[in-house]
Amino acid sequence: MRRTSKAPSIREPRTANRGLDRDGQRVQSPGFRVLGSDASAKQITALVVRLLDWFARHARDLPWRRTRDPYAIWVSEIMLQQTQVKTVVPYWERWMRALPTLRALAQATPATVHKLWEGLGYYVRVRNLHRAAQQILARNGGQFPQNYEEVLALPGIGRYTAGAICSIAFNQPTPVLDGNVVRVLARLFGIEGDPRGRKANARLWHLAAQFVWCAAQLEADTPRPTPRATPPLSDATHHSAACSHLNQSLMELGAVVCTPHKPQCAACPLAGDCVALHNGRVEELPAPQPRRAAIARRYAAFIVERGGRFLVRQRPAGVVNAHLWEFPNAEAGKGGNDLATLAERTLGTKPTGLRELCSIRHSITRHRIKLDVYVALVEMNLRRRLVSGRWMTLAEAERLAFTSAHGKIRQRLMAQAGAARTRSRRRGLARTLDA
């Protein structure tokens, strides 16, 4: 019988501490079956079985769950960082059509990968993805590494992402701990304190490791059916791909059942063992993070047009939204700079007029930004004095990756141009009929 190596210090229950967590706090009352932080391998294995069975029945049908290709799973994990699943699905599908292999990504231009990522935000993610693919192609001939430490060493990959890739793609017993898993484990075991703090975070990682190692043992001790290339989720009876499905089940449970607010405890397969539910503290755990105060900022963007071409510029390296495109803009001072002066400083020449086009509100981390957009009228003989940039048509601009707010400006201009063409055609048709 195949065995896995030693699990990470799974503790057997000690009679003296039964019903107490490591801090000596009582979490169990007579007749209620809840866990302490020193749960035994047998207890955790029972939870693992329930999670695997629940996941086989209730897992969402997400496109990256239909493959074990580490490249496809890697792309999904990077996209899912700080981004909702419903937002990621169309982006992932479009990405995989355009760049179906790691080699295709490594050989793609920066403009191509930025355009495919346009709108997802946090663009350092896609630059690291591109750089890591180039490293893998150069060092491994395009073969994605299977060793956890090698995966962890790639640009843009941390402990969680490395564990997710190795467990989901290769069925390795590597733990994961994202926000969803933190919430499940903190409530299930009644873990106090800031989950990002050293003590609580170490306990959470330890528990995550216990779960996935118990899943590996469960798979090793279960008679194996006829091998399949990619075991389907419904094959939970034999617990094939147990490490992969176990980690996904913890993440899925936190995403759809053990949610931050109004969790569906009645639908949870672990409800009977949940310390937080038993103690009426589900909404209190994990400890909420203090909210940082929002910062209001105001910008002005200036649209300059010349013969159907618009002045745009590319953001430099080392700044937020580096390498993306935008229209000339500047931050307005807290005292409210004179608009004409701000436009002259931004464009390099004083416009003869400014016409308000629209206002766009958006957020970057805790910054709440209002972007006021103006059409700037500049005399023809002064246009050579404009700040450096590129003149391009809207069709050319559409092929480049713009920042989210400036992408909305581009779409507004394209809509206006389309409406103008429609009006022109109608006038032409009317003149023809009158003739």
Alpha carbons 177 and 211: distance in angstroms, whole number: 11
The DSSP call for residue 106 is H
Helix boundaries (H) for 156-263: 159-170, 179-189, 198-220, 242-256
How far is CA 208 from each of CA 37, 98, 212, rounded to the nearest angstrom? 12, 35, 6
Q: Please tell me which residue in 77, 118, 192, 252 is annotated as part of the active site.
A: 77
User: What's 117's DSSP letter?
Assistant: H
**Per-residue pLDDT at 40:** 87
Q: What is the CATH number of domain 31-222+236-278?
A: 1.10.340.30
Amino acid at 395: A
The three-class DSSP label of residue 434 is helix
CA distance 223 to 240: 10
**Nearest residue to 328 via CA among 385, 374, 367:** 374
In the prediction, which pLDDT does 226 show?
52
* 295-306 per-position pLDDT tens digit: 999 999 999 999
In whole angstroms, what separates CA 205 from the centre of its chain? 21
pLDDT at residue 433, as a whole number:
65
Range list for CATH 3.90.79.10 in the chain: 295-434
**CATH 1.10.340.30, the chain: domain bounds:** 31-222+236-278
Q: Which of 300, 304, 172 is nearest to 244 (CA)?
A: 172
Q: Beta 295-303 vs 367-377: how paired, if at all?
A: parallel
What would the mean pLDDT of 216-236 be, rounded to a whole number? 63
Based on its alpha-carbon atoms, the radius of gyration of the chain, rounded to whole angstroms, reads: 28
pLDDT of residue 1: 39
In the chain, the amino acid numbered 323 is: H
Q: Does 254 have pLDDT greater than 80?
A: yes
Which pLDDT band, with edges at 50, 70 and 90, does 431 fall under? Answer: low
**Does the domain formed by 295-434 have CATH 3.90.79.10?**
yes
Bridge partners of residue 367, in order along the sequence: 295, 364
Q: In what order do the strands lie in the sheet with 353-364?
A: 329-331, 295-303, 367-377, 353-364
Catalytic, 77? Answer yes
Task: Give the amino acid at 213.
Answer: W
For the whole model, what pTM was predicted? 0.84
CA distance linking residue 309 with residue 340, whole number of Å: 22
Banded model confidence at residue 382, pLDDT cuts 50, 70, 90: low
Q: pLDDT tens, 167-191?
A: 999 999 999 999 999 999 999 999 9
pLDDT tens digits for range 46-58: 999 999 999 999 9
